[in-house]
Chains A and B, each alone.
Chain A
Amino acid sequence: MSANNNLYKLTFWEKYGSIIKYIGKRILLIIPVLFTISLIIFTMVEFMPGDPINAFLNPEQLTGTVEEVAAKRAFWTEKLGLNDPFPVRFFRWWGQLLRGEFGYSIVKFQPVRNFIGEHIYNSFVLNVFAFSLAFAIAIIVGIKSAVKKHSMYDNFFSVFSIVGISLPSFFMAMILIFAFAVRLQILPFNGMQDPLNIRPTWTYYVLPITVIALGSLASLLKYVRNAMLEVLKQDYIRTARSKGLAEKVVIYKHAFRNALIPVITLVGFWIPRLFGGSILIEKIFIWPGIGLLMNDAYVQKDRSVLVIVLVFYALLTLLGNLFMDVGYSLADPRIREGGSK
């Protein structure tokens, strides 16, 4: 204790300055990248087949003589600002975005802002359950697998994880639907809620959560096991053992804590999935999340929704990358040093 008092105390800035600088730099870097991505997305959506005016106006509104129709089309084209040159439209769209106006859905006849939150929430609820489940199981099983390397237990879960990685999520969903919804008929086929309130709502969550959890468990398991094996090889683990520490203390206190750092960083990989859901799974289970919203926006050529959802996805991916980089730099200061050069 007394020895500590003699040490030079680092000020806050000296201690955390490089981390804060690094994070600040990474956040600043996101802005040009996001801008470029949004430009690409905006351009791509421009080239989508289909006429936005035709999608916007009802067929009844387009009846009448040829001149009337042409006048109507011209009026709406002007009003929606579709005649303006591309850069004007792009920057106007960005201005609206910064003011919190996400555009107007021409299919749902309401501003995108009104319904996008609900879709994000639906995706989030599903994925948060599934990922927590997968994470908890992966840690328990992954540690045991690494400790008992090449045992029956480890071999079983190694095979499980390679099967899980190779099984496409939609085929897994079909197998589970076939077993539990078609044959046993104990779980609903798809949807989010029973229209007649006969089935309890939670039964609708079981199958999608299982599919997402099994899929992510497979890859997570491999990751935890490898991280743990890497740590168990280190010299400090041998030191801990040779000190005569109990095996439990060595595994959970010395090894697992260090293995957890790369695993936690993996959360960055999940951020897009966590809030953005998955097009495939939401389409199979007809789950009204962000993925299904995007799928419907494609089918119905709803451009304003599409652009928002794509930019949202890109932003999530960027934030996930940021999270991972910051996590790695916290775990390994050398990355930070290399980055600031």
Chain B
Amino acid sequence: MVANKNKEHEKIISPTRLMIQKFKANSLAMFGLWTFLTIVTIVVIGSVYVNVTNYDLADLSRIGTHKYLPPSSENWLGTDRYGRDQFIRVIVGGAISLQVAFLSTILSVTIGITIGAISGYFGGKVDNFLMRVTEIVSSFPFLALAFTLSVIFSDVEQTTKLFILVFILGILRWTGLARIIRGQVLSLREQEFITATKALGISTKNQITRHLIPNVVAYVIVSATIGFAGAILSEAALSYLGLSVNEPVPTWGGLLQRASTSTIMRNFPWMWVFPGIALFALIMSVNLIGEGLRDAVDPKSEIMSKSRKGRRRKREERDKIFAEKELRDKRIGEKAAGIEVKS
């Protein structure tokens, strides 16, 4: 009777559901998610506006009257030395940053999964060769190499340059994921369900794509999120060094770089504070989401309520269960003692 009663309260939830529940209970991660969505919405609306109105980023017509204006109702984040609206420039910079980070993450995740899965599944010589390649790529000093590649391609057109940037970031950042996937696949390969797929005669390609990869998706998502934050940071660093798209198209790193003289820093703080804060907020929100996902994916972690109230409620619930259990044990003990006495 007692066992049945307990089971009524026990809901069976799928692993994915559990992950979503864990993530939702994590208030820091949810904060990150909302910040990220807000930034993305503003950037998307802003870039749609820029595209629809054919906004001229090289507009120099207001240079005389609007030079270095502080933030106002007309220019929300002030204006730069050519009288251009800083708000639009920050948004366009954000759009570039998000595009580059998104595309390069897709590229690096694709390479990472492919190399990792092939390496882990086939093992032996293939594994040895691919792991050497991985080691070579991961031995490249990242920023230095990205720097060299950007210099080599510094004379190309702006749009091509964006794709080259995506390529550089994607081609250098897959090694960590490949190692994780390889390790996971190596251990999964030994399990019964893969033997079953072999016995069923499923093709190697389907074994990998349909049966192995779905089992590592959780790691991929976490790694991709953290990698996304890293890609935003690297893009900003490269554009700070002047190796991304050039004027008149703004980038966050470029905006910061052009504002890092003592005159601008002292007199026109809106020139560097706003792009910096935008960059920081975006990277932090993605990192918070990544941390939350990592916790949610970890089967050992519990659903944790970060708020004091939630924690107290949980503690009280646990105490109540313990108290009930103790009471039950006590009663059983008394009963047993009673029986003993009677007999």
Contact = CB atoms under 8 A, between A and B. Distances in A.
Interface stretch (B47-55, B204-212, B276-284): B276-284
Contact of B266 (A182, A272, A298, A309): A182
Contacts of A75: none
Given A37-B136, A168-B237, A162 B284 contact: yes
Contacts of A162: 284, 287-288, 291
A280 B139 contact: no
A166 to B, nearest CB: 4
B167 interface: no
A interface bracket (residues with beta carbon within 8 Å of B): 35 or more
A285 to B, nearest CB: 11
Contacts of B259: 174
B293 to A, nearest CB: 14
A166 B284 contact: yes
A47 B237 contact: no
B136 A171 contact: no
Contacts, number: 111
B280 to A, nearest CB: 6
Interface stretch (A79-87, A252-260, A313-321): A313-321
A9 B262 CA distance: 69
B143 A279 contact: yes
B280 A168 contact: yes
Contact of B279 (A48, A171, A284): A171
A174 B148 contact: no
B240 A170 contact: yes
Contacts of B147: 279, 294, 298
B272 interface: yes
Given A163-B284, A166-B280, A48 B152 contact: yes
B135 A321 contact: yes
B336 interface: no
Nearest to A175: B276
B143 A37 contact: no
13 contacts: A33-B136, A49-B152, A162-B291, A170-B237, A170-B240, A170-B257, A171-B276, A178-B269, A189-B262, A279-B143, A279-B147, A298-B147, A317-B141
Interface of A: 33, 36-37, 41, 44-45, 47-49, 162-163, 165-168, 170-171, 174-175, 177-178, 181-183, 189, 272, 276, 278-280, 283-284, 294-295, 298, 306, 309-310, 313-314, 316-318, 321
Given A162-B284, A279-B241, A317-B138, 9 more contacts: A37-B136, A49-B152, A163-B284, A170-B240, A178-B269, A279-B144, A284-B260, A294-B147, A314-B140
